[in-house]
C-alpha cells in the first residue's frame, strides 16, 4: 500500500534551500500575536523528489479528462487545448500588476475589451461584465442587476420563479439576494408548463430563471411565450448559461427574450474546470441594463485608448470582484475565440449535440430514457429498469463505470427523474471513445441481469473501494485530525 506524505517524513530532509537572510527583519514583528501560531506546524520533512513522486502518484489515482472520458452531465468537462495554458503563461500576462496605469497595460485591456464584445455578440446582449469569477457568482451578479432595475423603477418585486429542473445554485443565488422562490413543475415533455407559469406570475414577480437548453438536455422551444408572460408584469428573463455549449453561434439568448445571462467560461470557452476553480462567470445584459453592471468596465475611445470606465458608478451594483475578475481565465477564453473564429465556435456546439444524440440512440435500448426526443448537448437516462428488475441502483452503475476506466456521469440529477443518469459527452471526444463508452454501458446493463452482486460491490479495481458517504458527511474532521498527528518515522 502506498505511503502518505507524512509516512515519508525523514527529519532533516528538505527539498529547498533559501538564500541567507541579510536583513534584520522578522515576520513576527509585523504579524499580531493573536494571528501567530502557538505551535510549530506539522509538515513532513521530505526531499523534492519525494514530493514529486508523491503527488504524481496521487494524480494517477484520480480521474481527469486527460486520463479518460469524463461524461459529467451539466458540467461540460471537455478537454481544453494546452496551447491556451502555454500562451497565457507568458510573463507579459503573469507579471502584470493590477495597479499598473492603464497606459502600461493597453494590450491586456484590449484583450478584455474584445472578450466583452465577443461574448456580447455571440449571446446577443448590449454589454458584458467580466468581474464574476464563477457561475454562481455570475448568477448572484445577474440577480443583483435585476434587483437594481426594479429598485430604480420603484417596483415592489419579491419573487423569482424557476422550474423544478433548475440547477441548485439558481434558488440559492436568488435567496441570497433576498428573493422568495416560486418553483413550478415541468410538463410531460420536460419543458416549462405554461399554464403553471401563468398561474405563478403576479405583480410580485421580479424575474424568471431558466437554463436553456435545460438540465434534461431539452431546448425550451416556448421561450418567446415565456418571455411575453414575464415581461407582461415587468419581470426580467434570466438565462443560466451553464449549457451554452449547446447553442454557441446558433442561438443568441438576447434575441429570443432573455434580458440577463451569465456565461461559464470554465465550461464553454477552454478555461480550467474542476478542483474548485479557477472559474469565470461573466454577465451579459440588454443595453438599458448596462448601467447596473459592476463598475468599472473596460472601455475604449480614440482619445483615451483602452481604459477602465467607472462613469456608471452612481447606478452600478458595485464591485463583485477586485480589478478584472480572474484575469488569466478570461485571457484563455479570448485565445479560444481567436483560435476557432465564428464558424469554429458554431461547430463546437454542433459536434456536442451530435455526440449526445449518438450516445442517446445507442443506449436507449438498454436504459430508460424518459425524454427521448432529439436532445441537445446532453441527455438524461435512468436506472429505473435495472432497479425494478434486478435491484441494481444508479449508484451501482456509476461505481461499476469506475472499474471500466470512466468517470461516472452525473447521477440523481435532475431530481425530477428517478435514478437519473445525466450524460454529456462534449464535442471533444472521438467516435471511438464514444463507442467504447457505449459498450461499457451495455456490458454493465448485462451484468445487472447476470451478476447484480458485482455491481453492488463495485468499484473493484480503484485505489479505494466504495466510500462510506454517510460517514464522510458526519466526520468532516477525520482527514484534518490525521494531518495534525505527530510525525514519526515508525508506524504505530
Sorted by where each starts, the structural domains of the chain and their CATH numbers stand as 86-339 (3.40.640.10), 346-474 (3.90.1150.10)
Q: Which of 9-23, 220-234, 288-302, 309-323 has the lowest mean pLDDT?
A: 9-23
Q: Tell me the three cell numbers of residue 50.
A: 519525494
Count CA within 13 A, CB hemisphere, residue 434.
21
pTM: 0.90
Region of 190 please: left (phi>0), alpha (psi -120 to 50) or beta. Answer: left
Q: Tell me the three cell numbers of residue 295.
A: 463598475
pLDDT of residue 277: 62
- Residue 483 predicted with pLDDT over 50: no
More confident of the two residues 16 and 44: 44
B/e letters for 407-433, b = 16+ CB within 10 Å, e = fewer, are bbbbbbbbebbebbbbbbbbbbbeeeb
CA 55 to chain centre: 25
pLDDT of residue 478: 58
Query: Per-residue pLDDT averaged across 204-226, rounded?
Result: 97
Name beta bridge partners: 237.
208
Report the alpha-carbon distance of residue 372 to residue 31 in Å, rounded: 62
Non-local CB neighbours of 266 within 8 Å, separated by 6+ positions: 134, 135, 272, 273, 277, 278, 279, 280, 329
CA proximity to 153, closest of 241, 85, 233, 88: 233
Q: Which of 61-70, 208-217, 250-259, 466-475 has the lowest mean pLDDT?
A: 466-475
For residue range 94-118, what is the model confidence (pLDDT) as tens digits? Answer: 999 989 999 999 999 999 999 999 9
pLDDT of residue 331: 94
- Residue 274 predicted with pLDDT over 90: no
Amino acid at each position: 500500500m502506498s505511503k502518505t506524505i507524512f509516512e515519508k517524513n525523514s527529519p532533516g530532509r528538505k527539498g529547498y534551500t533559501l538564500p541567507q537572510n541579510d536583513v534584520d527583519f522578522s515576520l513576527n514583528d509585523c504579524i499580531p500575536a493573536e494571528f501567530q501560531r502557538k505551535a510549530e506546524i506539522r509538515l513532513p520533512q521530505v526531499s523534492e523528489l519525494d514530493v514529486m513522486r508523491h503527488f504524481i502518484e496521487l494524480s494517477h489515482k484520480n480521474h481527469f479528462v486527460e486520463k479518460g472520458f469524463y461524461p459529467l452531465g451539466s458540467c461540460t468537462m471537455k478537454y481544453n487545448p494546452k496551447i491556451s495554458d502555454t500562451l497565457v503563461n507568458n510573463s507579459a500576462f503573469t507579471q502584470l500588476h493590477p495597479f499598473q496605469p492603464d497606459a502600461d497595460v493597453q494590450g491586456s485591456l484590449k484583450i478584455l475589451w474584445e472578450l466583452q464584445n465577443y461574448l456580447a455578440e455571440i449571446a446577443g446582449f448590449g454589454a458584458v461584465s467580466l468581474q464574476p469569477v464563477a457561475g454562481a457568482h455570475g448568477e448572484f451578479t445577474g440577480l443583483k442587476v435585476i434587483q437594481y432595475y426594479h429598485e430604480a423603477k420603484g417596483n415592489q418585486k419579491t419573487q423569482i420563479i424557476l422550474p423544478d429542473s433548475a440547477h441548485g445554485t439558481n434558488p440559492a443565488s436568488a435567496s441570497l439576494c433576498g428573493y422568495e422562490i416560486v418553483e413550478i413543475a415541468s410538463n410531460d415533455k420536460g419543458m416549462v408548463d405554461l399554464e403553471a407559469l401563468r398561474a405563478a406570475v403576479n405583480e410580485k414577480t421580479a424575474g424568471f430563471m431558466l437554463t436553456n437548453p435545460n438540465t434534461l438536455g431539452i431546448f425550451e422551444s416556448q421561450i418567446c411565450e415565456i418571455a411575453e408572460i414575464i415581461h407582461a408584469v415587468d419581470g426580467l428573463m434570466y438565462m443560466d448559461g451553464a449549457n451554452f455549449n449547446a447553442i454557441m453561434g446558433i442561438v443568441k439568448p438576447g434575441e429570443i427574450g432573455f434580458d440577463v445571462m451569465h456565461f461559464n467560461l470554465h465550461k464553454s470557452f477552454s478555461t480550467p474546470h474542476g478542483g474548485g476553480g479557477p472559474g469565470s462567470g461573466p454577465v451579459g445584459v440588454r443595453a438599458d441594463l448596462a448601467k447596473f453592471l459592476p463598475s468599472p468596465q473596460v472601455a475604449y475611445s480614440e482619445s483615451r485608448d483602452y481604459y477602465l470606465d467607472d462613469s456608471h458608478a452612481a447606478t452600478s451594483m458595485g464591485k463583485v470582484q477586485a480589478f478584472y475578475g480572474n484575469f488569466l481565465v478570461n485571457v484563455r477564453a479570448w485565445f479560444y475565440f481567436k483560435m476557432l473564429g465564428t464558424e469554429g465556435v458554431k461547430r463546437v456546439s454542433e459536434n456536442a449535440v451530435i455526440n449526445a444524440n449518438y450516445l442517446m440512440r445507442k443506449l436507449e435500448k438498454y436504459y430508460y430514457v424518459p425524454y427521448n426526443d432529439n436532445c441537445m448537448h446532453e441527455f438524461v437516462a435512468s436506472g429505473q429498469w435495472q432497479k425494478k428488475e434486478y435491484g441494481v441502483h444508479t449508484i451501482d452503475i456509476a461505481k461499476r463505470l469506475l472499474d471500466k476506466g470512466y468517470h461516472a456521469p452525473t447521477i440523481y440529477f435532475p431530481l425530477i427523474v428517478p435514478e437519473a443518469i445525466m450524460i454529456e459527452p462534449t464535442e471533444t471526444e472521438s467516435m471511438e471513445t464514444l463507442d467504447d463508452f457505449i459498450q461499457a454501458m451495455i456490458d454493465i446493463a448485462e451484468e445487472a441481469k447476470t451478476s447484480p452482486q458485482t455491481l453492488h460491490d463495485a468499484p473493484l479495481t480503484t485505489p479505494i473501494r466504495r466510500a462510506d458517504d454517510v460517514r464522510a458527511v458526519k466526520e468532516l474532521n477525520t482527514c484534518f485530525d490525521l494531518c495534525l498527528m505527530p510525525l514519526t518515522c515508525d508506524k504505530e
